[in-house]
Structure 1
Amino acid sequence: MSFIAHIRQSDNEVQTVKDHLLEVQALAEKYGEPIGMKHLCGLAGLLHDFGKYSQEFLHYIHAAVYHPKDAPKRGSVDHSTAGAKLLYTLLHTKDMTPSKALVAEVVGNAIISHHSYLHDFLTPELESKYLTRVRDKPLHEFDQMKENFFENVMNENELDQYIEKATQELLPFIQSVPMKDTEKQFMFVTKFVFSALIDADRTNTRLFEEDETPLNPDHKALFETYYERLHEKIMAFQNHPNANTPINRLRSKMSEQCEAAAVKKSGIYTLSIPTGGGKTLASLRYGLKHALIHHKKRIIYVVPYTTIIEQNAEEVRSILKDTENILEHHSNVILDDDDNDEHLDGTMTEKQKLKLAKDNWDAPIIFTTMVQFLNVFYAKGSRNIRRLHHLSEAIIVFDEVQKVPVKCISLFNEALNFLKNNCKSSILLCTATQPALDFVQNKLEMKTDAEIVENLTDVVDAFKRVEIIDKATDRAVLTSDLVSFIDQQLERVQSVLVVLNTKKVVKTLYEELQQNRGDDTKIYHLSTSMCAAHRNDILSKLRQDLDNNIPVICISTQLIEAGVDISFDCVIRSLAGLDSIAQAAGRCNRHGEKDMQEVYVIDHQEEQLKHLKEIEIGKQITRRILIDMKRNQNEHGGNILSPQVMERYFQELYLAFANDLNYFIPALKKDMMELLTAPKNEFSYVQAYRSKYSAEVPLFITNSYRTAAEHFHVIDNVTTSVIVPYEHGGKELITELSGNISMEDLGCIMRYAQHYTINLYKYELDLVMKNNGLVSFFDGKIYALAEGAYSNEFGFDVEGDSSDEVYMF
């Protein structure tokens, strides 16, 4: 008898359980082999659909496809418990050895979770969701499943040998860390195995459904071509008439230092090129050379804002002359909140298409955001963690790394340490304002000679193009005062950029300037209430006006600061963290095209920051530093943007947030790190379990993966991605979603949709729904604004004090 895993929708072709298990096993092995997890990941693939070897599931899938009116309820047949139960009965009962029991726990959790998210080994209620499934849940055809598996796929002796190989792979991961860090290591290993299983399962199912064969692209050959094209670009720069200006000579020198550093072994390095120093080109030079020397699979750029993604990706595409292999991943346009999607087995539903759509980061060069990177490791949802294994054997470039949210510092550091120590990845931390990531308790494991730029203090001094003028410690200003001050600046310069901390004051200033301005000066407004395509159109018009010496004023939130390649004669920055002021200064006289220009720091009285704690604390620390430097002009060498001042700023910031650095969860009165690493202290769930039951937890791993994921949000107020009807592109996209779409086309559409999305807070989403301004697709998995709910002037417009600092999707 042929047991069935899937039936293709287009032609009713059958994929047997045997074929599916062996094909997923092969893919999972491929994902795990480079870092020594071939059999651990392969074991998960081999047993994940073991439960489909039952008459019950065979009847279920037949009925679902051929007799849908009489079919059992979707998801009524549990097929994801059996494989983990097999491992538990073989390895975790009598005569068990700890190492094999650990294999049962690591791999078993991945298997029972492959239609949802990793389960808690121990919950806050002192229950084990893992044991509830693998030990306590009865499966009445379990013996028949074993018989069918051993007869068709692999006999008992072969499985024992395979498990032994998996066990031998797990031991080095345990032995490579101190005893106190073993639970942390189990957490990362389990998540890696889970990632490999999710991607292998969905990839194989998609390939079967689309009747395709897997591709094995040669990224090495592609990187060689890229490197040649980059070299051609560098030669063109050296022959440019402006190549010998002081700043361009400095840029060239730092770029050469990046190439020289690429020969060093994999590790964590810093690239502290000053703002406007050519980080994108220099880091690409490092990445391509390092990939070729050390056989890396991909280069991943992680940035704080979507604005930088489009700009940097376009710059890289232009240099490498490739539009197909460079992936931009801005946001999760598709909602991924199903706790269990096992009900999707059977016929190919719209939700099934979304689940299988290819968005797994297997491209050679990827641009994504800090939110998406952190979500891969810590957020709930299989769509996020599916991408984790692709971070191995990679070069990961963090652009503007100082924008890591303070509460996520420890989580960020631990993820990078795992990637460096266990996944053969190289990390490059790029910014003009390096955060003190080794100053916190959960330190980043970085050597003292990690900086690539030589004589950094001298380079910062040589790169100085602006004077920071402190007006913030004199008095606070109103919007009307700011209008007058802008007018004064326009009497001497052609262009002014004003960066404020909240969208509300940005809009207010923009509207007031519009009322008092003649036709000779162009006024622009920027915020993340506009979709990426909208912002890019504005930036394009702005650059054109700047090139043509047309007087311009740009009023923007923080989004313009991080990496946007644009230059103004004068910048006015509302008082905030010192790193933000440094980034704003990078938009003034960016290429040293003029003599020293001014950046004014003001204190805007009308900004409401009570709900924006990180900005408010950063503002207070910067104020103290400004006052100290006003009292003593030689303090810190007299340069407010020096590396020494930045180190002081970040150390004071992290001290101010000492209780938040490990992601404190008020509802549980615990840190996220505690849930993920399960320390055996007096306040732990393990100790509470002992006290309640007068017994030990019958498990080796006691982490609370799902509870942690349910409480993890990079931004405090969860937002929802919504597609907007901006211009022809957005409107056409929404129209396409109304039609019948294949999985292959859906993946392309979702990538394109990222340029036409904004992120709405819940109260904003509720308001739009109330006013009938929202349409939904794929059973509410994708949202779009109706026409009329989006403005070509302000984008989505709802009153409220919010900062673009939190919009990093």
Structure 2
Amino acid sequence: MSVLACTPSGVESNENEDLCLWAHSENEKGDMHGLVEHLRAVAALAAEFAGVFGAASLAWWLGMVHDLGKAAEGWQERLLALCGTRGSVGIDHKAAGARFAVERLGLWRFAMAVQGHHGGLESPVLLHGFLTSPDRDRSAEEQSIGRLSALVPELRDPTPPQWPAWARSDPLAGEMLLRMVFSALVDADYLDTQAHFRPGEASATMSVGMRELLSRYEDARGKQLANRPASAMDGFRSQVYDDCLRAAELPPGFFRLAAPTGVGKTIAAGGFALHHAVRHGMRRVVVAVPFLSVTDQNAKVYRDWLDADGSSRVVLEHHTAVNVESGPGGRWQRLAAENWDAEFIVTTTVQLFESLHSRTPSRMRKLHRLARSVIVLDEVQAIPVHVLEPVLLALRQLVEHFGVTVLLASATQPEFWHLPVVDGIEPVPVVSEPERLYDTLKRVRYRWWTTPKPTLAEVAAEAAVRSRALVVVNTTDHARAVLTGWQASTSSADVRHLSTRMCSRHRLDTLDEIRALLAGPGDVLVVSTQLVEAGVDLDFPVVYRAIAPAESMLQAAGRCNREGCLGHAGGLVVLFDPVEIGCPPSYAVPLHETRKAFGPSAGKAELDDLNAFATYSAAVYSSLNPTERGQAVVDARREWDCPRVTDLFRMIDDQSVPVLVDYRPTGDQQARDRADRVVAAIRRGRTPRPHELRHLQPFLASMPRTRALRDDRAVPLIGDLHVWNGRYDPHHGIDLDPKEH
């Protein structure tokens, strides 16, 4: 019986032949998916994706052999037997292609992409064990190769592919190339399979073009300047924006946007990114921010400017708190979120860097889209120090080998450029004279309240005397204590609370309420943990900040007199050292260096001394050894040990667990109903799909893991997700008061 390829409709290409090879079962039209057709389509698409970074030949071969094992007689018989059942074949089809890649193409490490194109990248050791296992059916693998070689001439006498020289000499660079070609392969595989089963979803993307986006952006900025009331900050904002446009003309690389809060860094960074992309032919802009509240805020700004009428699929907002299937353009949002096939993306630093260090196809499909893009890292000082080395290494590799430009934006620029992982890199300063700008824009004065140390009750009482004040503390318990003090007082002020004891939707709703209150005439008191510090556009005349690392205190000061409207005296920032002890463990080293460098004592600097801050920041990173900066992740990458990389790389401290709470947003009952339906399905024993879990994200708060495990009000639901059956307070969220029992 001879072998042949088959047309997409399932009609044999030669009526004298009597055997077809299939890749997938019939679609809704009843058409089978030809194997050779699938392999060639995936190879071509993967080569197109990887050609952006010089690896087209490598990706083409990985695409051509990835499903080679499906040609085996046993696999084909099983597929046909399952037609119409949606059942899984259950026979390995990865080994034949992986073996071909190793033995006939010399791709002994890149064959990991073939082995892992369904389950995820493994390691060279595990690949060797996989191919040499006594359980392998070598005869079926050889049969597959032989059958397809009869149909695909390239398989008969293959020419090993070429790939960039920089990936051959450096194991770490080669490992990053593996990640990128794996991304190209699995995205191409998914897209071609999707085109067979759901052809209507195959063309969800619409390119607007960077020039058109830039035109829209500049038009929107001009209209905003023309229509809004004048501000004392306008001249400085224009200066920073103009500096960004000048820097955008420079060659791709690392850039630093250092400017005080309130000068429009979000707008300026977007302008830099779009102008730079147009100037250098780059494909997309990716804006990554550390906190969900900032992601939501920034995405709205960019969407309003780039897609004001909602007619185009332009700005993709991809993070865990977004329900990507609801609202206008929901289907496109869902599809684009899977592989970032969009021209302007707003995401979180967690989503970006955990994807770069992941091993699974679903997380890594998007990575090849980063090539030739502009990545804006907003609030870059928030990168956790325990992953600093792998993050900096990944950024360096993207810039040096994948045509990426990285813009680091922050009012408190970290000084980590002396570390070996970024040796030799000198980022280009975007703002021409940052010291003069900071000196000119001193909008606050500082008062240190450290001797004697005040209690939280005393801080709350003094703040309550003010008509408007923001108090920022280091722990959720401290925030609750301040709120309780205000609620017990006779003050007529509106009081609000922000912390991770509130679910993300509750926090976003509360921020909207605070902005509305600040726009009115009444008194407003707000207490928050540090989540309010980065990029949240609140403006108070007085800010109280518990002693914390210098960058956190400076970020809090950025919420004071943000618009510069308080005259010569400026705003007041009170830095207090509370009697009550408590702060995140990550504060230990930077807080020690802060106490050494800043304070009211003789010989110590004022908090806004830029030179002192640079010295302090460098000292913080130097005081940490490579292990504390995440060197173990880099070592695992050097060995191409992908499971170990993923296990070690955790941007968020896993000492907390997500807790689903009973928060009911005003005016959006549908969102809550969707979440409740997912919970009901889980309780009936059904495993939720990823898009269903996203319905839960707006209603998740966090609790310390140890506390959740011993509190019977936190009931396990699935994995480490718990449901909070205790009281959820409308002001402060999860009520951990033991008296509730």
Normalised to the residue count of structure 1, the TM-score between the two structures is: 0.80
Alignment-derived partner of residue 382 in structure 1 = 361
The match for 1:470 among 434, 443, 448 is: 448
CA positional deviation for 1:556: 0.5
User: In the aligned structure 2, how far is the partner of 1:299 from the partner of 1:11?
Assistant: 38
User: In the aligned structure 2, how far is the partner of 1:326 from the partner of 1:621?
Assistant: 40
Check 1:606–1:676 CA distance in 2 against 1; reply closer, same or farther (3 A cut). Answer: same
CA positional deviation for 1:579: 0.6
User: In the aligned structure 2, how far is the partner of 1:560 from the partner of 1:465?
Assistant: 19
CA positional deviation for 1:751: 6.2
Uncovered stretches (5+) of structure 1, i.e. residues with no partner = 92-100, 122-127, 335-354, 665-670, 678-701, 801-809
What letter matches 1:644 in structure 2? N
User: In the aligned structure 2, how far is the partner of 1:421 from the partner of 1:383?
Assistant: 26
CA positional deviation for 1:316: 1.3
Check 1:797–1:386 CA distance in 2 against 1; reply closer, same or farther (3 A cut). Answer: farther
1:215 partnered with 2:203: yes
Kept in 2, the 8 Å contact 1:298–1:365? The answer is yes
SS state at 2:24 partner? strand
What letter matches 1:485 in structure 2? E
Alignment-derived partner of residue 118 in structure 1 = 121
- Larger relative contact order (C-alpha < 8 A, sep ≥ 6)? 1
Kept in 1, the 8 Å contact 2:121–2:360? The answer is no
What's the CA shift string for 1:174-202, capped at 9, x where partnerless?
3xxxx5xx111111111111111222222
Alignment-derived partner of residue 387 in structure 2 = 408
The match for 2:642 among 705, 730, 743 is: 705
Check 1:215–1:292 CA distance in 2 against 1; reply closer, same or farther (3 A cut). Answer: farther
CA positional deviation for 1:736: 5.5
Check 1:793–1:483 CA distance in 2 against 1; reply closer, same or farther (3 A cut). Answer: closer
1:15 partnered with 2:29: no
Kept in 1, the 8 Å contact 2:46–2:184? The answer is yes
User: In the aligned structure 1, how far is the partner of 2:423 from the partner of 2:734?
Assistant: 39
SS state at 1:383 partner? helix
What's the CA shift string for 1:328-352, capped at 9, x where partnerless?
2223999xxxxxxxxxxxxxxxxxx
User: In the aligned structure 2, how far is the partner of 1:631 from the partner of 1:284?
Assistant: 42
User: In the aligned structure 1, how far is the partner of 2:519 from the partner of 2:615?
Assistant: 38
Alignment-derived partner of residue 142 in structure 2 = 143
Check 1:531–1:22 CA distance in 2 against 1; reply closer, same or farther (3 A cut). Answer: farther
Kept in 2, the 8 Å contact 1:413–1:437? The answer is no
The match for 2:283 among 290, 297, 310 is: 297
User: In the aligned structure 1, how far is the partner of 2:127 from the partner of 2:242?
Assistant: 52
The match for 1:268 among 241, 249, 254 is: 254
Q: What RMSD over aligned residues (CA atoms) do the two structures have, in Å?
A: 3.0
Identical aligned residues as a percent: 24
Number of paired residues?
A: 693
SS state at 1:429 partner? strand
The match for 1:606 among 569, 580, 590 is: 580
After superposition, residues 247-286 of structure 1 pair within 5 angstroms as 247-286=233-272
SS state at 2:199 partner? coil
SS state at 2:675 partner? helix
SS state at 2:422 partner? coil
User: In the aligned structure 2, how far is the partner of 1:762 from the partner of 1:358?
Assistant: 30
SS state at 2:110 partner? helix
User: In the aligned structure 1, how far is the partner of 2:122 from the partner of 2:629?
Assistant: 21
What's the CA shift string for 1:544-602, capped at 9, x where partnerless?
11111211111101111100011011000111111101110000010101121110111
What letter matches 1:280 in structure 2? T
The match for 2:457 among 480, 489, 496 is: 480
1:540 partnered with 2:512: yes
The match for 2:482 among 492, 509, 513 is: 509
Alignment-derived partner of residue 656 in structure 1 = 623
Kept in 2, the 8 Å contact 1:417–1:445? The answer is no
Kept in 2, the 8 Å contact 1:496–1:552? The answer is yes
Alignment-derived partner of residue 102 in structure 2 = 88
What's the CA shift string for 1:629-655, capped at 9, x where partnerless?
63047x5xxx42232122112112112
What letter matches 1:557 in structure 2? T
What letter matches 1:630 in structure 2? S
Bigger drift between 322-331 and 427-436 goes to 322-331
CA positional deviation for 1:396: 0.4
User: In the aligned structure 1, how far is the partner of 2:336 from the partner of 2:374?
Assistant: 25
Check 1:589–1:772 CA distance in 2 against 1; reply closer, same or farther (3 A cut). Answer: closer
Uncovered stretches (5+) of structure 2, i.e. residues with no partner = 1-18, 324-333, 683-687
User: In the aligned structure 2, how far is the partner of 1:33 from the partner of 1:752?
Assistant: 36
User: In the aligned structure 2, how far is the partner of 1:301 from the partner of 1:597?
Assistant: 31
1:364 partnered with 2:343: yes
After superposition, residues 658-807 of structure 1 pair within 5 angstroms as 658-663=625-630, 671-677=632-638, 702-717=639-654, 725-727=662-664, 728-735=669-676, 737=678, 754-759=697-702, 762-763=705-706, 771=713, 773=715, 785=723, 790-798=728-736
Normalised to the residue count of structure 2, the TM-score between the two structures is: 0.87
What letter matches 2:596 in structure 1? R
What letter matches 2:38 in structure 1? H
SS state at 2:173 partner? helix
Alignment-derived partner of residue 192 in structure 1 = 180
CA positional deviation for 1:726: 3.2
What letter matches 1:540 in structure 2? D
Alignment-derived partner of residue 108 in structure 1 = 111
User: In the aligned structure 2, how far is the partner of 1:61 from the partner of 1:788?
Assistant: 50
User: In the aligned structure 1, how far is the partner of 2:51 from the partner of 2:655?
Assistant: 36
Alignment-derived partner of residue 550 in structure 1 = 522
CA positional deviation for 1:141: 0.7
Kept in 2, the 8 Å contact 1:207–1:214? The answer is yes
Check 1:604–1:255 CA distance in 2 against 1; reply closer, same or farther (3 A cut). Answer: same
What's the CA shift string for 1:127-160, capped at 9, x where partnerless?
x212112344532312210112112334435x62
Check 1:713–1:370 CA distance in 2 against 1; reply closer, same or farther (3 A cut). Answer: same
Alignment-derived partner of residue 495 in structure 1 = 468
SS state at 2:185 partner? helix
Kept in 2, the 8 Å contact 1:501–1:558? The answer is yes
Runs of 4+ aligned structure 1 residues displaced above 6 Å come to 745-752, 786-789
CA positional deviation for 1:241: 7.1
What's the CA shift string for 1:429-471, capped at 9, x where partnerless?
00011111212221165336x0010111000011110012222
